[in-house]
Amino acid sequence: MKVSIIILTYNSEQNIKHCIDSIKKQTYKDIEYIIIDGLSSDNTIKIIDENRENNTILISEKDNGIYDAWNKGLKRASGDIVGTVMSDDYLNDQDSIQSIVNIFKEKKCDIVYGNMQFELNNKIVRQWKAGKFNKKKYYLGWMPPPPTVYVKNTILKENETFDEKYKIAADYEWLLRIFFMQNYNIYYFDRFFYTLRMGGVSNKNLINIIKSNRECYQAWVNNKISKFPFWIFFKPFFKILQITSFNSFLNFYKKSK
């Protein structure tokens, strides 16, 4: 099974090599690299060119935000399985993709997702242990960690991709549609195989966290699931329970004001 991994970059010279290396070191080799760059002005493209594999598609052009870039990658993906690694992030283990492919084959599933940890100043400050999927959990603010979600390419053909009217939470809205509103065979891979370096659009400051939750609320309303999904506001409480270093977390948000 061929795996397409979408890498979104923009002025990522500090971390892009580590990101690419974490994929190149995978024991599973049938991987298509799809790098969507937002017209970086630093050395990102130079570093990509120095470290690119033969099976790499690179698009570097101005985009209309992260979800526009993500959609470009999803449309280009030719693999049987499609996933994402953001340019500042990385895969933890060399057998992560092999394990994911094995699950798809053995469990005959449509979607695989796992656990994610958050890194700040080279320290793990939060662990997002997703737990087994159950639609009822969505009523308590649950969602899978988006970068850990791998889907069959057929799902991309059967569903609209990211709705770009959501500026911060389009990934939540998309996952709501394919996890909650559909009946796909979904498998939980109980491993922390992905590390996110803190500072992304949805978590870089408290104002964006509020905006993100408001968009999550709107996703329920716009998809006509519920007019009053107040449980969306439980989401921040789940995040608090995942924090492993409160001092690091608080200092990060103080600096981000």
Q: What b/e readout covers 163-179, taking b as 16+ CB neighbours within 10 angstroms?
A: beebbbbbbbbbbbbbb
120 Cβ neighbours under 8 A, 6+ residues apart: 197, 198, 245, 248, 249, 252
Q: Which domains does the chain have, with CATH numbers?
A: 3-255 (3.90.550.10)
Partners of 128 in beta bridges? 116
Q: What are phi and psi of 148, to 5 degrees?
A: -90, -5
Record the pTM: 0.89
Tens digits of per-residue pLDDT, 31-82?
A: 999 999 999 999 999 999 999 988 999 999 999 999 999 999 999 999 999 9
Return d(Cα 29, Cα 109) in angstroms, integer: 21
| C-alpha 93 chain-centroid distance | 17
Residue type, 227: K
| Residue corresponding to tokens 């470009």 | 72
Tens digits of per-residue pLDDT, 169-212?
A: 999 999 999 999 999 999 999 999 999 998 654 445 567 777 88
> Percent of the chain having pLDDT more than 70?
86
Q: What are phi and psi of 21, to 5 degrees?
A: -60, -35
Return d(Cα 122, Cα 152) in angstroms, integer: 33
Instruction: Name the band, by pLDDT with cuts 50, 70 and 90, for residue 249.
Output: very low
First to last CA, the chain: 45
